[in-house]
Amino acid sequence: MAQKEANGSNGEHATRPPPTPSPLRFSKFFQANMRILVTGGAGFIGSHLVDKLMENEKNEVIVADNLFTGSKDNLKKWIGHPRFEFIRHDVTQPLLVEVDQIYHLACPASPIFYKHNPVKTIKTNVIGTLNMLGLAKRVGARILLTSTSEVYGDPLEHPQTEAYWGNVNPIGVRSCYDEGKRVAETLMFDYHRQHGIEIRIARIFNTYGPRMNIDDGRVVSNFIAQAVRGEPLTVQKPGTQTRSFCYVADMVDGLMKLMNGNNTGPINLGNPGEFTMLELAENVKELINPEVTVTMTENTPDDPRQRKPDISKAKEVLGWEPKVVLRDGLVLMEDDFRERLAVPKKTKA
Ligand SMILES: NC(=O)c1ccc[n+]([C@@H]2O[C@H](COP(=O)([O-])OP(=O)(O)OC[C@H]3O[C@@H](n4cnc5c(N)ncnc54)[C@H](O)[C@@H]3O)[C@@H](O)[C@H]2O)c1
Ligand SMILES: O=C(O)[C@H]1O[C@H](OP(=O)(O)OP(=O)(O)OC[C@H]2O[C@@H](n3ccc(=O)[nH]c3=O)[C@H](O)[C@@H]2O)[C@H](O)[C@@H](O)[C@@H]1O
């Protein structure tokens, strides 16, 4: 059953005005660029976001990343650029920089990585978000959190609207991530209400695209790497579980619209096209390598059975909806995987 509309979704519950940015911002002669911090900017979504932000000559971009799952390779075209800076930094430690906006993405996202060191994952979500909120408060910056559709857990409502409070196991092996992100959302709203911080929360649904780690472990990258290598596609049982896959360029566009718009969120960002894992495997097989087989493997605990975003709110308040359909996105990703795996496409005889 739909639960009541998420509180404070438009900032009406802030009890304080936002903290003031640096006095220099109001100086008549100061013509600084917009200074933007991207935590987790060496990762998959983060590096695509950095590319887009760097297109605007009025932006200076600082990436803070501990390189746990990210890589400097993802940022190589910007290293040394005068408007770009990389800081190897773990967000569980305080960070002192002067910025106007913070995109807070730092957190391992693939289940195999976030379950690898669950205590660190919780610390990243809770202490990391606290640190970034503290920074936002000190410098008067607006902060956007990349939350997740996993806050809905194994959802009993379908598709999921932002008003749904979720069905999350608090003590399971995925909880470090799901509950960590839920606490991060709570912290965002508490800082907003208590200190007037300008917040934005995106609830991201499964996003895919070029630059995902080859051994990332997530389903789209697994299937594409397997198809390119000519290995069986590993569908975890029962295979009827569903996900909705969003192409990364659409996601970056949504994140920037959210950051620069007036709504705090939370707002679902995702592609509502819904596929079973067996359907995804069939699509990858047909498009990338019709010779591979599909094999059924064991699943992991608490795997959500279905997931599909209701994006009415994103359409209404951001004027955003995804443009790239799954079959086109898979092909766009294939070229990047072939290049990195050094497996060229077979040319027809
Ligand atoms: N890709 C998706 O489908 C998806 C879905 C929902 C939410 N998200 C969220 O989007 C964000 C980015 O996800 P992604 O898919 O790009 O994952 P990713 O693993 O490629 O990127 C995460 C980045 O954060 C960095 N990082 C991790 N812990 C850190 C720490 N303690 N300090 C500093 N840096 C740290 C990693 O090194 C990496 O560069 C994450 O917050 C994730 O929860 C992603
Ligand atoms: O979008 C989200 O909110 C979340 O989605 C993913 O979590 P998950 O949906 O579990 O992603 P995958 O690991 O890609 O799994 C998707 C489905 O594919 C299945 N799978 C995975 C891998 C594989 O080789 N085969 C396979 O069938 C899994 O059982 C699962 O049902 C991301 O990894 C999270 O970071 C993100 O927050």
Q: What is the mean pLDDT of residues 303-314?
A: 95
User: Residue 229 burial by CB count (10 A; 0-12/13-18/19+): exposed, middle or buried?
Assistant: middle
**Residue of 114, 177, 191, 247 with catalytic role:** 177
From the CA of 38, the nearest ligand is 1
Instruction: Show Cβ contacts of residue 83 under 8 Å, excluding neighbours closer than 6 positions.
Output: 33, 54, 57, 59, 60, 61
pLDDT at 134 over 60: yes
Per residue in 7-59, pLDDT tens?
A: 445 555 677 888 887 776 666 666 668 999 999 999 999 999 999 999 999 99
Q: Is 108 near ligand 1, meaning CB less than 6 Å away?
A: yes
Q: Residue 275: how many CB atoms within 10 A of its CB?
A: 19
| pLDDT score of 2 | 43
323 pLDDT more than 60: yes
Q: Which residue lies with its CA nearest to atom 28 of ligand 1?
A: 107
Burial grade of 123 (CB within 10 A; 0-12, 13-18, 19 or more) = middle
What rounded mean pLDDT belongs to the chain? 93
CA distance 216 to 226: 12
Q: What integer pLDDT is reported at residue 29 of this predicted model?
A: 62
Closest C-alpha to ligand 1, atom 41: 105
**Omega into 238 within 30° of 0, i.e. cis?**
yes
Rounded to whole angstroms, what are the CA distances from 64 to 19, 106, 210, 266?
Answer: 23, 8, 21, 24
Active site residue 177: yes
Give the DSSP letter of residue 111: H
- Judged against a pLDDT cut of 60, whether residue 233 lies above it is answered with yes
Mean pLDDT value across residues 188-207: 97
What integer is the mean pLDDT of 300-318?
Answer: 94
What is the pLDDT confidence band of residue 136, given thresholds at 50, 70 and 90?
very high
How large is the average pLDDT for residues 107-115? 93
pLDDT digit string, tens, across residues 118-130: 999 999 999 999 9
* pLDDT for 159 beyond 50: yes
Ligand of minimum distance to the alpha carbon of 150: 2
Ligand nearest to the CA of 122: 1
CB-CB contact of 130 with 187 (8 Å): yes
List residues near ligand 2 (CB under 6 A). 109-111, 148-150, 204-206, 218-219, 222, 234-236, 241, 243, 277, 299, 303
- Residues 255-283: what's their mean pLDDT? 97
- Report pLDDT for 72: 97
Asked whether residue 137 carries a pLDDT value surpassing 60, the answer given is yes
- With a cut of 80, say whether residue 78 has pLDDT above it: yes
pTM check: above 0.90: yes
Report all structural domains of the chain as residue ranges with CATH numbers, in order of start: 23-206+246-270+310-323 (3.40.50.720)
Share of the chain above pLDDT 70, in %: 93
> What pLDDT, on a 0 to 100 scale, did the predictor assign at position 53?
98
Query: At 309, is the pLDDT very low, low, confident or very high (cuts 50, 70, 90)?
Result: very high
